[in-house]
Structure 1
């Protein structure tokens, strides 16, 4: 009996490691995962939100609510707390923390988001709008994203 329980526990653990490896394979490490070296930033809500956003965008984009447009490189949603008549948030489909962490590999995804901004501006006939991104201390989600806000 103990052998069966032990075997089941080992199999469940292995399945968890395999699932976790698949889900996190394309995500960048978040500081809360490095509990011994993250200092005052362990378990910040924005770090957890960034990890969840990464998994959702990279592995399960069909489950993200409020999707407005989606391409191979970018996904846009309605912002849940709009600051204007129109407020979209655009996420590159490549895990990047913020502008300061961009690499050449990230550029097609950022360009894809700006192409989507253009598409949304044209589609909604926007004229009075702003596009911005926040630095790490202003981010609610530790994942590069762009806001398109219009009145």
Structure 2
């Protein structure tokens, strides 16, 4: 039995529509459907990693890629500052168990 695909894996596979801001070989960036700021983007790796606890040493380049992408995305959205959030685990507020970075700015 294969595990059920997450919402984000379904978006990556184009099974569910999303407002895509950026896509490359490693990640996809979408507008959050329930924004908490004027700009609220989700930076999602294409590799389905459930939580930060599940990161492996070979994921450092992927995570670095996502972190370096954040300021580029912010500038493209005309932000001169932003904050990021990564929820980890149910008690950390994580709702979709596929790691992602929230980029928020006003």
TM bucket by the smaller chain? Answer: 0.7 to 0.9
Greater percentage in strand: 2
Aligned Cα root-mean-square deviation (Å): 2.2
- Residues 108/68 of structure 1: CA separation in 2 closer, same or farther (3 Å cut): same
- Contact 2:10-2:16 at 8 Å conserved across structures: no
- Contact 1:73-1:108 at 8 Å conserved across structures: no
Q: What is residue 79 of structure 1 aligned with on the other side?
A: 32
Deviations 1:77-130 (A, max 9, x none): 000111011000010111111112111222222122122212112212312310
Counterparts of 1:115-130 in structure 2, within 5 Å, are: 115-130=68-83
Q: Identify the structure with bigger relative contact order (alpha carbons < 8 Å, sequence gap 6+).
A: 2
Q: What is residue 113 of structure 1 aligned with on the other side?
A: 66
TM-score norm. by structure 2 comes to 0.83
Structure 1 residues without counterparts, runs of 5 or longer: 1-19, 30-47
Greater percentage in helix: 1
Structure 2 residues without counterparts, runs of 5 or longer: none
Give the Cα–Cα distance (whole angstroms) in 2 for the partners of residues 55 and 123 of structure 1. Answer: 26
1:141 aligns with 2:96: yes
TM-score norm. by structure 1 comes to 0.60
Aligned residues: 104
- Contact 1:96-1:106 at 8 Å conserved across structures: no
Report deviation, 1:135: 1.3
Alignment counterpart, residue 103 of structure 1, candidates 37, 41, 56: 56
Give the Cα–Cα distance (whole angstroms) in 2 for the partners of residues 96 and 128 of structure 1. Answer: 28
Give the Cα–Cα distance (whole angstroms) in 1 for the partners of residues 85 and 14 of structure 2. Answer: 23
Q: Secondary structure at the match of 1:148?
A: strand
